[in-house]
Amino acid sequence: MEPQQMPLTFPVTAQPQVVQVFTNSNPMGSQWSSDVMDCCKDMGVCACGTFCPLILACRVASEFGECCCLPLVGGTMLALRTGLRERHRIPGTICDDCVCLTFCGPCALCQLAREQKARKGHL
């Protein structure tokens, strides 16, 4: 009886690679559409952020695609701001977001609402 021949195998010399293509199709660029202290650019958002910040925060969370009750849990506004910034490739860090929300909370919330409003047709 003859021994069976093993089929020839070739060593793997290159692994398939995943190519990620990042396109910035956002016509607004990669900056905030308004500054933190530009609250008066949208008086409706400004009034809601001043007198009913929890309602505005719930609306921001809902429009971001999260549960509208998310702002009732501590620390989630930081996650929302960071998530919105990352989604639109706006430069910054989590530390920047934390400082902004800590020292300018109502204005930062209004900025989030204005940003969503400005980019709503550009998603």
List pLDDT tens digits, range 23-59. Answer: 445 455 579 999 999 988 899 999 999 999 999 999 9
Which residue type sits at 65? G
| Backbone Cα Rg of the chain | 23
Query: What pLDDT score does 120 carry?
Result: 84
CB 74 within 8 A of CB 57: no
Cβ(29)–Cβ(35) under 8 Å?
no
Confidence of residue 21 (pLDDT cuts 50, 70, 90): very low
Record the pTM: 0.73
92 CB-contact burial (10 Å; exposed 0-12 / middle 13-18 / buried 19+) = middle
The whole-angstrom separation of Cα 107 and Cα 100 is 9
Residue type, 28: M
- Average pLDDT for residues 62-80, to the nearest whole number? 93
Q: Are 120 and 33 in contact (CB under 8 A)?
A: no
